[in-house]
Amino acid sequence: MKEHEVRDKAFAMPLTSPAYPPGPYRFIDREYMIITYRTDPEKLRALVPEPLEVTEPVVKYEFIRMPNSTGFGDYTETGQVIPVSFEGRKGGYTHCMFLNDHPPIAGGRELWGFPKKLASPTLRAEIDTLVGTLDYGPVRVATGTMGYKHKTVPEETVRAALSAPNFLLKVIPHVDGSPRICEIVEYYLEDLTIKGAWSGPAALSLNPHALAPVAELPVLEVVSALHVVADLTLGLGKVVHDYLK
């Protein structure tokens, strides 16, 4: 293989059989359960990297079903998103994510800088309850429950929330272990079609785990819960802060 062929083909690893295809990445019938809870503000500030700023002492714990996604397949994801502000723009900082599918783990980390790790999350309806769980190996780490479709939420409210900027801390090491890339990435969800949105009573339990430390941001009070079904495109990101310059 000639050098120019390597350059032309170099999109993702392995070179001759990439773990994921080029975008765009479209999601059909993406289903969210988002439980917003109040937490310890000091612990929150200790985990959010500058120049992002914590706007309020809350966390959004998300369970997401993705049954139909371009190039990534059928998988489930869960994690914590922290409301932040960056240069006056309010959005969400993704603190941690756990999912059960390799292509979006590889693509998410390499392209955007999503903090993805392999685990076993679920999201399903059980009679009158929407139930989300996270298992790391044999250990139950998180359980979220919500009353199923109790009250309709206006589409414009959900669209505004999903259209806000999202921020990630992308870290890729050099071959000697030092950081080669260390930057804040901003991205958006695009081409949104809201198919339904509901609120309802909710509860969230987080258990301590050495490698899935979601309980480090303890649940002090559940504030609200949102159930959403939507089609959307995961937009590619842009670098808004480089720690190495």
**Residue 116 appears among annotated catalytic residues:** yes
Per the residue annotation, which of 2, 9, 116, 151 is the catalytic one?
Answer: 116
* Residue 210 CB neighbour total at 10 angstroms: 7
Residues 131 and 123: beta-carbon distance below 8 Å: yes
Residue 183 makes CB contacts below 8 A (sequence gap 6+) with 113, 169, 170, 239, 241, 242, 243, 244
Q: How far apart are CA 179 and CA 157, in angstroms?
A: 39
Question: In this structure, is the dihedral angle defined by the CA atoms of residues 124, 128, 134 and 138, taken in order, positive or negative?
Answer: negative
Q: CA nearest 183: which of 126, 237, 122?
A: 237
Q: Three-state SS across 26-74?
A: EEEEEEEEEEEEECCHHHHHHHCCCCCEECCCEEEEEEEEEEEECCCEE
Phi, psi of 115 (to 5 degrees): -80, 65
- The amino acid present at 6, given as its one-letter code, is V
Active-site amino acid positions: 116
